[in-house]
Amino acid sequence: MVDIEMAPIAGGSLALQDARGRTRRTVDVLPFELGVFPVTQEIAAEMIGLPSRHPRRPVTGVSWMRAVRLCNAASEWEGWDPAYTFDGPEVTWHPDADGYRLPTEIEWEFACRAGSHAAHYGSLPDIAWTSADGVSSPQDVGGKMPNLNGLFDTLGNVWEWCWDLFDPDSDDEYRVFRGGGYADDSWSARASARRGGRPGSEHDDVGLRLARGATEL
């Protein structure tokens, strides 16, 4: 039986800046839990039957749609209520469910920063697998130093899907992923960096991290 290690993330506040609108705002974050590591190939194999050639590496090539289904599978494994229901391509999140889910973008950044206001919560070579390491694929989780929340690989190694739409004001359905990957430089492996992809798209440098617990939409 695989073990999904979760870390408690204390509540607090996060200052956000909109570069396009040149505005700043502060948002409150309720306490929740977040995976100590990105979901590994070993866990994905156990939950949804994906190949596990490198059990301790983050699973990649997982679309946003498959990521939310993996969350439900992990919830059912633990005997908890699934966070998501499906109506064709439409996904509904039930925040009152006690099961696993994807973090919101704000939760992800709050947990990644762990109180830091800098682009990186530590010296990048010490905390993140990036292009500076010269690697050609994701690396085993936990090989670099964690942040002060006890989370490994939030920067570098693989990007991580979040629940949110990339641009809520647009008609496209792109979903956000955060954190930078093994092939990215220091500009992309930042706490504030963001990219997005279609819900059904798969990327060789994008995985996910499980969340659970209180939130407000």
**pLDDT digit string (tens) for 143-187?**
999 999 999 999 999 999 999 999 998 989 999 999 999 999 999
What's the pLDDT at 12?
93
User: What confidence tier does 191 reach under pLDDT thresholds 50, 70, 90?
Assistant: very high
Asked, for residue 126, whether it belongs to a domain, the answer is: yes
User: What confidence tier does 24 reach under pLDDT thresholds 50, 70, 90?
Assistant: confident
Asked, for residue 38, whether it belongs to a domain, the answer is: yes
CATH of the domain at 111: 3.90.1580.10
Residue 90 sits in which domain range?
6-212
Length of the chain in residues, anyone?
217
20 has pLDDT over 80 = no
CA atoms of 42 and 212, how far apart (whole Å)? 20
CA atoms of 10 and 18, how far apart (whole Å)? 25
CA torsion 128→132→136→137, rounded to 10°? Answer: 10
The type of residue at 137 is S
What's the pLDDT at 19?
56
Which strand (E) or helix (H) includes residue 35? strand 32-35
**The whole model's pTM is what?**
0.95
18 has pLDDT over 80 = no
Task: Identify whether the C-beta of residue 172 lies closer than 8 Å to the C-beta of residue 24.
Answer: no
> Environment class of residue 18 by beta-carbon count within 10 Å: exposed (0-12), middle (13-18) or buried (19+)?
exposed
Both tokens assigned to 190: 């930042």
CA atoms of 182 and 72, how far apart (whole Å)? 27
CA atoms of 160 and 169, how far apart (whole Å)? 22
Both tokens assigned to 68: 């939310």
Number of structural domains, the chain?
1
- Residue-wise pLDDT for 64-115, tens only, equals 999 999 999 999 999 999 999 999 889 999 999 999 999 999 999 999 999 9
H helix and E strand count, the chain: 4, 11
Asked, for residue 1, whether it belongs to a domain, the answer is: no
What's the pLDDT at 23?
72
Which residue bears the tokens 């359905």?
Answer: 173
216 has pLDDT over 90 = no
CA atoms of 57 and 212, how far apart (whole Å)? 22
What's the pLDDT at 16?
85
Asked, for residue 217, whether it belongs to a domain, the answer is: no
